[in-house]
Amino acid sequence: MNERIGRREALRKLLNLVSLGMGALAAAVVSVPIFAYLLSPLIHPAKSVWRTVGTLDKFIVGKTVQVSVEDPSPLQWSGQTAQTAAWVRRNSETDFTVFAINCTHLGCPVSWVDGAQLFFCPCHGGVYYADGTVAAGPPPRHLFEYEWRILNGNVQVKTRKLPIG
């Protein structure tokens, strides 16, 4: 009888160890990708890069146009998500303003309405004036701006990670 109780006790201890080991393995399988995702900005920081968005003659004084910009993402698998857009406004012959396409509230893409001279965010009703300042709605601050420069007749934008949120 004592021998049977001893075997049961040993089997129970073995099953407890197997259960603990399987639980630890499951926790590792779930947590490793989560930690890798959270730590990826530290491991692969985004670099600021100058990107050409068009020649000077593409932009008319007083007009705002949307351009395609490649994000400075270092990840090879980014694919389509590495493409974003920006709003370029030519203020004068030598002065531009370049806004990020993202609303400062939750990052939704804003649209430019030329007739109203306003940027509209479709997600929560954010409205911005042509200079990027908040006109109405929930956005906490003006539109984010990119640095720009003119180099060899081309307008270039300095891409960077945007502090949304």
Q: Which amino acid is at 103?
A: C
For the chain, the domain total comes to 2
Region of poorest pLDDT, from 18-22, 63-67, 121-125, 161-165: 161-165
Q: Do 38 and 87 belong together in one domain?
A: no
DSSP state string for 24-42: HHHHHHHHHHHHHHHHHHH
Q: Do 64 and 113 belong together in one domain?
A: yes
What domain range includes position 30?
Answer: 1-43
Q: What pTM was estimated for this model as a whole?
A: 0.67
Residue written as token pair 């900005």: 41
Q: Do 26 and 56 belong together in one domain?
A: no
User: pLDDT per residue over 127-157, tens digit each?
Assistant: 999 999 999 989 888 999 989 999 999 999 9
pLDDT at 120 over 50: yes
DSSP state string for 81-147: GGEEEEEEEE-SSS-EEEEESB-TTT-PBPEEETTTTEEE-TTT--EEETTS-EEESS-SSPPPEEE
Q: Do 57 and 127 belong together in one domain?
A: yes
Q: What pLDDT score does 150 carry?
A: 92
Q: What pLDDT score does 73 carry?
A: 61
**Structure tokens that stand for 70 in this block:** 């490649």
CATH number where 61 lies: 2.102.10.10
User: pLDDT per residue over 27-59, tens digit each?
Assistant: 888 888 887 777 766 666 666 788 889 999 899
- The mean pLDDT of 14-36, rounded to a whole number, is 86
What 3-state class would DSSP assign to 163?
A: coil
pLDDT at 11 over 70: yes
**Structure tokens that stand for 82 in this block:** 């590495």
CB 155 within 8 A of CB 68: no
- The mean pLDDT of 20-28, rounded to a whole number, is 89
pLDDT at 165 over 50: no
CA dist 21 → 10, 16, 25, 44, 112 (Å): 16, 9, 6, 32, 57
Q: Do 112 and 149 belong together in one domain?
A: yes
Q: Do 122 and 71 belong together in one domain?
A: yes
User: pLDDT per residue over 65-117, tens digit each?
Assistant: 999 887 766 556 555 556 778 999 999 988 999 998 888 888 888 999 988 99
Is 123 inside a domain boundary? yes
d(CA 96, CA 99): 10
Is 59 inside a domain boundary? yes
Q: Do 75 and 150 belong together in one domain?
A: yes
Sign of the CA dihedral running 45, 73, 38, 106: positive
Q: Do 133 and 60 belong together in one domain?
A: yes
